[in-house]
Amino acid sequence: MKIGFIGLGIMGSRMAANLQKKGFELVVTNRTRQKADDLLAGPARWAESPAEVARQVDVLITMLSTPDAVSQVALGENGFLAQLPAGSIWVDCSTVNPSFSRQMAREAKTYGIHFLDAPVAGSKDPAEKAQLLFFVGGDAQDVVVCQPLFAAMGRQAFHLGDTGMGASMKMVFNSIMGASMLAFCEALALGQSLGLEQKTLLDILSVTPMLAPFIAPKRSKFESGQYDTEFPLRWLRKDLQLASESAYEQALPLPFLNLAKEIYTQAMQAGLADQDYSAIYAYVSGQK
């Protein structure tokens, strides 16, 4: 099974490296070639375009930042979709909205291509350690075929139903992440404004059941004021936007998550777009 991999950012580069480690033969491309250097030092092959990747592989994985980027790489100039062999599988690990996934599945089908939406839970560190979770939507048979790939890159793959169900789960996941982080940071800022020490607050909250486990590892960032990027604030905001659009399509009110989205946008405007999303603390505590 030859694997194409497009999108070698923070996440994609680590996922591809794990595939390579497990012996999968890779053909890769990326906007900037330099990010492929480590892979190309191994047996991976470089392709000049998405189309060129497509012509050489059985399964193609995309790990890109936005629906627009995915659409461009799949269907734009030198896009891969028209070049994939009939019967091959496209696994989109990008975080996109479910209706976009369904649209891509329809496009793929017109070319005889199978489609899985398979976004991941976990950021830089779990990506590196092959500890990601995959949320997968699509045909069961295709999930079985791709199981060895998921196993190489992650801890577990959940098959959640038809196309779009993986993307849907990811919307839920990142919505909780973004909103809980913001809730925590506003409360922390409140405590400090009332005279409590940050250290005291973090110490005590850590021994209560209030703290979601994903927040604890961010402690050093809050303490140092250095928000080294594991998951950029910019992409969290994008994911909240996708969740908002998905809710819009369902006529479901989500006032709370929509406001979270806007506060992250305020933080972005304040210059925090490329820092870790936990930098929202710097914004709500008035440091930025």
Euclidean distance between CA atoms 219 and 31, whole angstroms: 34
Of residues 64, 173, 166, the one with CA closest to residue 116: 166
Which member of 40, 85, 109, 193 binds a copy of itself (CB under 8 A)?
A: 193
Q: What is the DSSP letter of 85?
A: P
Which member of 36, 84, 108, 169 binds a copy of itself (CB under 8 A)?
A: 169
Nearer to a copy of itself, 60 or 205 (CB): 205
3-state secondary structure of 247: helix
Which member of 1, 40, 172, 228 binds a copy of itself (CB under 8 A)?
A: 172
Q: Binders of a copy of itself among 98-137, rule CB under 8 A?
A: 98, 121, 133, 135
Q: Does 275 bind a copy of itself (CB under 8 A)?
A: no
DSSP letter string, 99-155:
HHHHHHHHHHHHTT-EEEE--EE--HHHHHTT-EEEEEES-HHHHHHHHHHHHHHEE
Evaluate whether 213 touches 248 at the Cβ level (below 8 Å).
no
Count of CB atoms situated within 10 Å of the CB of 48: 10
Nearer to a copy of itself, 94 or 175 (CB): 175
Nearer to a copy of itself, 40 or 210 (CB): 210
Out of 35, 129, 170, 261, the active site residue is 170
Active site residue 170: yes
The one segment of 32-40, 78-86, 104-112, 255-263 that binds a copy of itself by CB under 8 A: 255-263
Which residues are the active-site residues?
170
